[in-house]
Amino acid sequence: MSTVTTAGATAAGGRIGALLRVRELGIVLALAVLVGYTAFVNPRFLSGQSVRDILLGTAILAVLAVGQAIVIITRNIDLSVGSVLGLSAFAVGTVVQDNPGMPVFVALLLGIAIGGVCGLVNAVLVRYGRVPALVVTLGTLYVFRGITYSWAGGQQITADELPKRFLGFAGESVLGVPWLVVIALLVVAVAGVVLRNYRVGRELYAMGSNPEAATLAGIRVGRNTLGAFAVSGALAGLAGVLFAVRFGTIDAAAGTGYELNVVAAAVVGGVAVFGGSGTVWGAALGALLLTVIGNALAVLDINQFWQQAIVGALILLAIGVDRLVAARTARALKNRNGHVR
C-alpha cells in the first residue's frame, strides 16, 4: 500500500513523519508492554549488557528479515537463508582463520558474495526452472547445509582461532552504537528507501500484488525475481559474517532453523504471506520483537524451550490478524462503493 510508510521515509513527496501503520504500531505497543513488564519484574533486563545482547541479536535477525521481506513481497519465499548463513559463516571463518591480516570489510564483502551466489542459484531455479520458490528453497535449505557439513565435517572454528581484530569488530562501536547494529540499520534504511521510493521497489510490490498484471504492465518480472533472491542470499551471507563476528565459534550447524525465525519476523512485522504489501521496517520490528521475547524469557526465568513454540504461535497470530483486517477492509471498501450490483 502506498500510504504505508514509517517515520524516516522522507520521500520527495514530502510526507515527513508519515503515519505508522496500525500493524507496526501494534508491534511497538507489544514491545513496550513486554519490555515494561520484564523490566519491572527484573530491572537487570535494561542493563547495558542485556540491551547490547538484544541489539546484537536483533541486528543479525533483522538483516535476514529484510532479505526475506523483499522476497515475500514478490510473492515468493526463501527458506534457505539459515543454511546460507551457515555456509557463509563457516567459509568466511575459514578464510579469516587462514588470513589473519584480512580487513573486516573484506570479510563482509566475501560473505555477501558467497550469499549472493547462493541466492542466484535459488533465483535461477525459480526463474528459469519454473520451480515454485517453496520447493527450490526447501531443497537448497538442505543442499547448502549439506555442503557446509561435507566441508566442515565435525570441525569447529573457535574464537581463539580467529584474529582479535575480526572478533573485536563485535565490540567496536560508533558513537556508542555497535557496528553490527549500524550495519543492520543501514541495510534496513537502504532497502526501505529503495522499496518505497524507487521504481524497482514499486515493481516488486506490483509483482507480488498481481503477477499476471505485472507481466502485462511490461515489468521485467524475471530480472526483478533474480534480483530479489540474490539480495536475500547476499543479506543472508552478510548475516553469516555478523554471526561469526558475534559468536566467534562456528560449526556446520550455525544458523540451523533460523529460517523459521526469519519468516516469523517478516510475517509478524506485517509482510503479507502472499505478497504485495508490508515493509522492511515492519520486518525489522518483527525481528526486534522476537529477539526481545527470547531474552525476556531468560530474564523472567521461563523455560527457554517456550521460545520456538511462541515463534510458531506468533506466525499463526500474525496471519490470522492479517486475514481479519483484510476482510474488514474489504467490507468497508465494498460498503463505500455501496450499490447493489
Q: Interaction with another protein in 210-249: which residues (CB under 8 A)?
A: 210, 212-220
Q: Give the residue, chosen from 120, 202, 248, 249, that forms a contact with another protein under the rule CB under 8 A.
A: 202
CB 162 within 8 A of CB 248: yes
Q: Reduced to 3 states, what is the DSSP secondary structure of residue 173?
A: strand
Coil, strand or helix at 273 = coil
Query: Which stretch in 34-42, 59-67, 202-210, 241-249 sits in contact with another protein by CB under 8 A?
Result: 202-210
**Alpha-carbon dihedral sign for residues 78, 202, 208, 5:** positive
Chain centroid offset of residue 167 CA: 23
Candidates 39, 55, 102, 138; binder of another protein (CB under 8 A) is 138
Shortest reach from residue 146's CB to another protein, in Å: 3
Q: How many CB atoms lie under 10 A from the CB of residue 171? A: 12
Question: In the bound complex, what is the minimum distance in angstroms from residue 201's beta carbon to another protein?
Answer: 9
* Contact set for another protein, span 36-55 (CB under 8 A): none
Half-sphere exposure of 219 toward its Cβ, with a 13 Å CA cutoff? 22
Judged by CB under 8 A, the number of residues near another protein is: 84
Site for another protein in 302-341 (CB under 8 A): 303, 305-313, 315-316, 319-320, 323, 329-330, 333-334, 336-341
Which window, 50-58, 137-145, 161-169, 178-186, contacts another protein (CB under 8 A)? 137-145
Neighbours of 16 (CB within 10 A): 10
> Does 150 sit near another protein (CB under 8 A)?
yes
Distance in angstroms (rounded) separating the CA atoms of residues 210 and 128 = 20
Q: Is 80:137 a contact under the CB 8 Å cutoff?
A: yes
Q: Is 197 in the site for another protein (CB under 8 A)?
A: yes
> Using CB under 8 A, which of 117, 131, 182, 185 touches another protein?
131
Q: Does 119 bind another protein (CB under 8 A)?
A: no
Q: Which is nearer to another protein, 101 or 154 (CB)?
A: 154
List beta partners, residue 29.
none
User: Which of 281, 197, 205 lies closest to 13 in space, CA to CA?
Assistant: 197
Q: Which of residues 247-276 bind another protein (CB under 8 A)?
A: 252, 260, 263-264, 267, 272-274, 276
Q: Is 300 in the site for another protein (CB under 8 A)?
A: no
